[in-house]
Each structure stands twice: as structure tokens, then as C-alpha cells.
């Protein structure tokens, strides 16, 4: 190798070394100078331990400042796996105290981390047991837990919060953003073993507590509602029950309760009961919906106080027969409302027509959610107008073929009570911060003037007669003028009406001159009695009476005779009537019934017709099956009267007065009888009568 080659190689080596040093120096400059801040931040993050601080969730109060939901301090078990020496023993001992699986706890303690949740928000006695164990690397962290001091009271309205204090149901989720607040943090430097570095970086970012809610709910009225719901479920064994109380002048919800229910302190014990039926349940309202039909007819001027209506017990519409609870005969408009006559309301619906009726159905808010500040609200179901024919129109007029929600129904009644102005239901009155400063206030929100003040006042007068003289007498509160309407609807399942499943309801408000409360009671599938007058009206009466007294609403002065008339009712004559019609008549009178023997024809009753008894009294009905010999009557003979043209109820009364029995066939007016008129027969004889609709 020549000296020149050697020299060239030495120069090349030096150049390579120089370039390498230059490259390394440049890389060091880039890392230690240009990227210094980034790598220092990464190093700090590797050493930093971050712990989140839960804020205190806002308190929920009723309208009088009584706490309905607030946070309490509880302990949470956490671990620093790097500090746990004997992991298997620690996991086993900890699992026994906390009621956890030992293998799962061991898996957490074996992770390469400085912080692990073991079990959150434990009971105080369990926390004390953990303290007494004195385990290395196991700590108790203070957190907050949502607490509902009244248990099931207003559970569906309040809802509940989850493990991280996040709203999951009810008002808790609707106003979660205001209630939750913001998280705080504690930052600190630690070694790879999880121990604090003396003099290391520390930073504390405080949490911000959530805002407080003041609801429209009145805790006292809510208690009354909860008690009556329990009584309904106990007495009637219903599938579900709902009661809503509102202030019709503001739209504020004063109480809202449903059964079955759950305890928001332990919601996982009854997850099937979380749904709030008061805003979710779609049902056919039956006769309570007649308020809408009557309001529309009065507002449109298609009926007047002087109009006459005739009910023969049924009406035929496009070949379909629609039955009434009884053959009411000739009636005024007030009688049609008071007697809850299906035939009368079908006639009114026909006069209105579908365009006008739907105009008011939609104006009262049906077919869409009310916008109440609760999650999961349904809007009801309306048949599209282009699918509404004569039969559908007739059904809609008396509350069938349309599905509503309880909150819609009580809002509608509130509109009539509020001189025709429909208001949005309100749950929250104010939002305030944790220092008491007003953040947001809520005022009544009107949707519009649905009917005139004059129409609302006239309709209130008719609805007052329902309670004073009609089907709602069992809802009367002595000393107060109330308006209301009973409802008894068969349930629709798989496109057919069941016949043996019903929804009983009562909807009303009062006092009529200055309404303070609107109340709806809905009972789904009551067992035994199923009429709204027997199942729902007594609960309405109890809630209305105690709530008015609590609110200090003075009663209207009444005479002793009037007060006694509200407590005692005359027993109607149901002898000779078919059993189904007799039950209806007794139910309308606020009376129960008890059957003696088997059969379908009533041959005697006790107490006798005309006797005055307390509301709710059971009338014993003695039945005949048509096969066994009739009970022996006193000796004597009577002449059979001419029954042609009489309704079933009229014929039953006439024959009953003569101690004769009626065997009826068909509906409408009497067209044939056996024995013939003027025939002399023995007392207690059976008279067969055929009934048919009149030809015109």
C-alpha cells in the first residue's frame, strides 16, 4: 500500500469522525435545546400522579325548601399496587371484607400502576373494617354519594344518579349539567414505586359544586299522593296506578306518583320499575276525553244548552253498533255530560265533524309531548285524519281510538280550569348556585287560548254536575264545588278490546270558582271493581280534600241537608235489569255490589230501591239463572201492562213495581211481549220482552 493511499484513508477516517461528532452534537442540540420543554413535560407526566376530586352535586328541594335529594360523604377503597407487598394475602383479606371475588382483587393489585379503584362508595361500617385491617398500599378516599331521604317518595320524578354522580333518570338526568358541577384534581410527583417525591411538583385544582334545584313539587301533597297510590294497589290489585296534581293557574306539577315504584337509593333492586308512567304510558282515556269533545262543540256552537238528545241504549254508525252504559232516554246537553252518555257524545261528534274535532284535540296538546322537563315523555297516538271515517270519528268523540298520556290529560283539564288557556307543565321553579344566587327562574309558559273563557266556564258548570248529581258523586268533597269526569275504558290488545281488562280514571279540578288543583287518577287493570267512579274517584276525593285543607283553601258554606246529600245516596232500582247494566247503574251511583247465587237476571236487591245509604255501600243482588224454580211469592194476581215503546230501564221499573220479573232480549225500545198486555198473571211471574232500535 503506497503512502498516498494510507494518507487518503486517514483523511477519510478523520472526516467520518468529524461528521459523526457533528451529527451527534446536532442531535444533542435538538434534543436538549430545541425539544427540551417537550421532554421535560413528558418526564413530569411520567412522575405525576393525578387524582380526580368529585364535586358536590347540587341539592334538590321541594317548593317549600325541603330537601328531596342531596350528597353525603362516603369512603371508597383504592390501592397503590406498587406499595402492596404481599399481594395474595392483601387481596384475600380485602375481598372478604368488601364482599368481592378474591381473584379479581388480586388482578387489580398485580397491575403496574400507582392507582386502582377497588370498591367505590362503601357503607361506613365496612369502611371501618378496612381501616382496622391496616393493609399496606390500601387507602380510603372520600367521595360523595347521592341520597334520597324520603326513599320512594317522588322516585320517578326525581330519578337517580350513578356511581360517578351522573344523572341517569328523572330530573337528575334532565338537569345533569347544572347539578353535576365540574371535577377537581390533585397533581403530585411520585417515584416508580408510587411514593411521593420530597419537594416535588404539587398542584391542586378545586372542584366546582353543582347548582341547586327548587322544584314545583310540594312534599306534603306528594306524601298524600303516595299514600293513596299504595291504597289503590292494596285494594284493587292493579297492574299500575298514576296520580298527578297540578296548579292549573301556573302549570306547576305539585305531585306526581306512580306504582309500581322503586327506591332511588337502591335503584338496581327494581330496574323494571324505572319508567315514569305519568309521562310515558299511552292509554285510551274513555269518558274523561269527553271533556275535549264537549269543549269543542260548545266553542264551535254546534250544541247549546237548550238542545235535546235521545239515548235508546245504543247508536248505529255506518253499520257498527256503539253501546251506551244504559238507555238514558231524552236528555239535555247537561244530562249528556252528567250521565256520560256515549250516544249523546257520538251525536255531538257527528255534528262537529273530524276537522273541527281534530282541531281541538291538537290544540289541547294531544299527539305531541308537552315538553315537561322529564326524560322519556311520549306524545300519545292520533289516527291520521285521512284514516278517520264515521266510525273512528264516533269512537274519538267518547275517548276511544285515541291514545293519550296522563300528563297530557291533566294539562287539558288545567286548561279548562284556567279559563281556556293551556300551559306547559312545569317541574322546576328555580336554579340557584351553591351560594344561593339565582341562576335561572321559570315562569308559566302558555301554549295558547284553546277555548274562550265563556266556553270554559260553561263547561265547568256541566262538569260540576257530574260530581254533584252524576257519575262522579263518589268524588265529592263536602264544602267544595268541584268539577270532574269519570272514565272507564276497555283495553285494546292486539287490535281487539279485551272486555275483561280496563283502565279506570277520574279527572277533575276545583274549587270551580277559583281552581287551585287539577288532579288525575289513572288505575290500570284493577281487579274486581273497574268503574272509574268506584276505583279512581275515591282517591281523587282523598287527595283533593286533604290538599285543599293543607293549602288553607276555605270551603263554601253549605247547609246540613246538602252535606248529608253528598254523603248519603238513594239506592237505584236494579231489579229485572241484566247484571252488567245493574253494575253500571250502581257504579254510577257510587255504590258497590255483592252477588248472591248465580245467574244473569236480578230478581231482588237489598237494600231496597229508594233507601238512602252511604257512598260505597254494597248492594246485595239476588240472581236467577233461568233454570231453577223462581222463589215463592206472596199470593195475588196482577195485570200485565203494555210495555211497547219502553226502554229496558223503564220496563224493568214498571214490572218491578208490580212484582213481576223481566226477561229482556235485544236493545232499544220494546216491540213484543209475552204475556200480552192486560193479561192477568200471578205475582212473581216472568214477562218476556223483545227490544229493538226504533226505525227512525
Which residue numbers are catalytic? 287
**Helix-strand-coil percent breakdown of the chain, rounded to 5?**
35, 30, 35
How far apart CA 216 and CA 198 sit, in angstroms, is 54
**Strands 618-624 and 592-596, bridge-based pairing:** parallel
Give me the residue label for grid cell 286548561.
415
CB 89 within 8 A of CB 242: no
Q: Using alpha carbons only, what angle is made at residue 574 by residues 569 and 580, rounded to the nearest 5 degrees?
A: 110
Exposure string for 220-247, b = 16+ CB within 10 A, e = fewer:
bbbbbbbebbeebbebbebbbbbbbbbb
> How many other β-carbons are positioned within 10 Å of the β-carbon of residue 35?
12
Nearest to 368 by CA among 381, 379, 377: 379
How far apart CA 419 and CA 626 sit, in angstroms, is 54
Q: Which helix (H) or strand (E) holds 661?
A: strand 661-666
How far apart CA 537 and CA 522 sit, in angstroms, is 10
| Cell output for 581 | 247494566
Distances, alpha carbon 591 to alpha carbons 569, 586, 607, 643, in Å: 9, 5, 11, 29
Bridge partners, 430 (sequence order)? 214, 441
CB 523 within 8 A of CB 534: no
How far apart CA 258 and CA 233 sit, in angstroms, is 10
Of the CA atoms within 13 Å of residue 62, those in its CB half-sphere come to 21
Contacts (Cβ under 8 Å, ≥6 apart) of 491 = 283, 284, 497, 498, 501, 502, 503, 525
Write a three-state SS string for 29-95. Answer: HHHHHHCHHHHHHHHHHHHEEEEEECCCCCCEECCCCCEEEEEEEEEEEEECHHHCCCHHHHHHHHH
How far apart CA 146 and CA 120 sit, in angstroms, is 13
Amino acid at each position: 500500500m503506497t503512502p498516498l493511499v494510507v494518507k487518503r484513508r486517514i483523511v477519510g477516517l478523520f472526516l467520518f469522525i468529524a461528521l459523526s461528532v457533528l451529527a451527534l452534537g446536532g442531535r444533542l442540540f435538538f434534543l436538549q435545546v430545541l425539544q427540551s420543554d417537550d421532554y421535560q413535560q413528558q418526564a413530569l407526566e411520567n412522575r405525576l400522579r393525578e387524582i380526580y376530586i368529585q364535586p358536590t352535586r347540587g341539592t334538590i328541594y321541594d317548593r317549600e325548601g325541603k330537601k328531596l335529594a342531596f350528597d353525603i360523604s362516603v369512603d371508597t377503597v383504592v390501592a397503590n399496587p406498587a406499595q402492596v407487598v404481599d399481594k395474595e394475602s392483601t387481596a384475600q383479606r380485602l375481598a372478604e371484607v368488601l364482599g368481592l371475588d378474591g381473584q379479581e382483587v388480586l388482578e387489580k393489585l398485580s397491575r403496574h400502576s400507582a392507582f386502582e379503584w377497588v370498591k367505590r362508595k362503601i357503607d361506613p361500617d365496612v369502611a371501618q373494617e378496612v381501616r382496622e385491617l391496616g393493609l399496606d398500599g390500601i387507602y380510603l378516599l372520600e367521595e360523595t354519594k347521592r341520597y334520597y331521604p324520603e326513599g320512594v317518595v317522588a322516585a320517578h320524578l326525581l330519578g337517580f344518579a350513578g356511581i360517578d354522580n351522573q344523572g341517569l333518570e328523572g330530573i337528575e338526568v334532565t338537569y345533569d349539567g347544572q347539578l353535576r358541577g365540574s371535577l377537581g384534581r390533585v397533581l403530585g410527583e411520585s417515584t416508580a414505586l408510587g411514593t411521593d417525591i420530597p419537594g416535588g411538583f404539587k398542584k391542586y385544582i378545586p372542584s366546582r359544586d353543582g347548582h341547586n334545584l327548587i322544584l314545583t313539587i310540594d312534599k306534603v301533597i306528594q306524601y298524600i299522593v303516595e299514600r293513596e297510590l299504595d291504597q289503590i294497589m292494596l285494594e284493587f290489585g292493579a297492574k299500575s296506578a298514576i296520580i298527578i296534581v297540578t296548579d292549573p293557574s301556573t302549570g306547576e306539577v305539585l305531585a306526581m306518583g306512580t306504582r309500581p315504584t322503586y327506591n332511588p337509593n337502591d335503584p338496581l333492586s327494581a330496574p323494571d320499575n324505572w319508567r315514569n308512567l305519568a309521562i310515558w304510558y299511552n292509554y285510551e282515556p274513555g269518558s274523561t276525553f269527553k271533556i275535549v269533545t264537549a269543549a269543542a262543540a260548545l266553542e264551535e256552537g254546534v250544541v247549546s244548552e237548550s238542545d235535546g238528545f235521545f239515548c235508546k241504549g245504543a247508536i248505529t254508525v255506518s253499520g257498527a253498533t256503539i253501546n251506551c252504559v244504559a238507555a238514558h232516554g231524552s236528555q239535555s246537553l247537561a244530562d249528556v255530560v252528567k250521565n256520560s252518555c256515549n250516544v249523546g257524545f257520538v251525536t255531538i261528534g257527528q255534528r262537529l265533524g273530524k276537522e273541527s274535532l281534530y282541531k281541538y284535540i291538537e290544540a289541547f296538546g294531544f299527539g305531541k309531548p308537552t315538553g315537561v322537563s322529564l326524560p322519556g315523555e311520549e306524545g300519545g297516538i292520533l289516527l291520521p285524519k285521512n284514516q278517520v271515517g264515521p266510525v273512528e270519528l264516533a269512537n274519538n268523540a267518547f275517548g276511544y281510538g285515541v291514545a293519550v298520556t296522563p300528563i297530557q290529560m291533566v294539562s287539558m283539564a288545567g286548561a279548562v280550569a284556567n279559563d281556556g288557556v293551556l300551559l306547559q307543565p312545569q317541574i322546576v321553579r328555580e336554579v340557584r348556585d351553591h351560594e344561593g344566587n339565582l341562576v335561572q327562574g321559570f315562569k308559566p309558559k302558555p301554549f295558547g287560548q284553546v277555548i274562550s273563557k265563556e266556553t270554559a266556564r260553561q263547561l265547568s258548570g256541566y262538569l260540576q254536575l257530574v260530581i254533584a248529581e252524576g257519575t262522579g258523586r263518589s268524588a265529592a268533597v263536602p264544602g267544595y264545588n268541584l268539577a270532574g269526569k269519570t272514565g272507564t275504558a276497555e283495553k285494546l290488545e292486539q287490535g281487539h278490546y279485551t272486555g275483561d281488562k280496563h283502565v279506570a280514571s277520574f279527572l277533575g279540578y276545583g274549587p270551580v270558582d277559583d281552581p287551585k288543583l287539577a288532579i288525575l287518577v289513572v288505575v290500570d287493570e284493577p281487579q274486581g271493581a273497574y268503574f272509574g267512579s268506584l276505583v279512581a274517584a275515591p282517591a281523587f276525593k282523598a287527595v283533593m280534600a286533604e290538599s285543599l285543607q293543607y293549602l288553607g283553601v276555605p270551603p263554601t258554606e253549605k247547609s246540613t241537608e246538602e252535606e248529608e246529600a253528598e254523603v248519603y245516596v238513594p239506592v237505584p232500582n236494579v231489579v229485572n235489569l241484566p247484571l252488567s247494566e245493574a253494575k253500571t247503574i250502581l257504579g254510577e251511583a257510587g255504590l258497590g255490589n255483592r252477588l248472591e247465587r248465580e245467574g244473569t237476571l236480578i230478581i231482588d236487591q237489598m237494600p231496597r230501591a229508594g233507601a238512602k245509604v252511604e257512598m260505597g255501600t254494597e248492594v246485595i243482588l239476588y240472581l236467577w239463572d233461568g233454570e231453577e224454580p223462581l222463589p215463592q211469592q206472596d199470593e195475588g194476581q196482577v195485570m200485565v201492562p203494555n210495555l211497547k215503546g219502553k226502554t229496558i230501564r223503564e220496563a224493568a221499573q214498571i214490572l218491578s213495581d208490580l212484582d213481576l220479573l223481566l226477561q229482556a232480549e235485544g236493545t232499544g225500545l220494546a216491540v213484543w211481549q209475552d204475556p200480552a198486555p192486560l193479561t192477568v198473571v200471578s205475582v212473581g211471574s216472568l214477562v218476556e220482552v223483545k227490544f229493538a232500535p226504533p226505525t227512525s
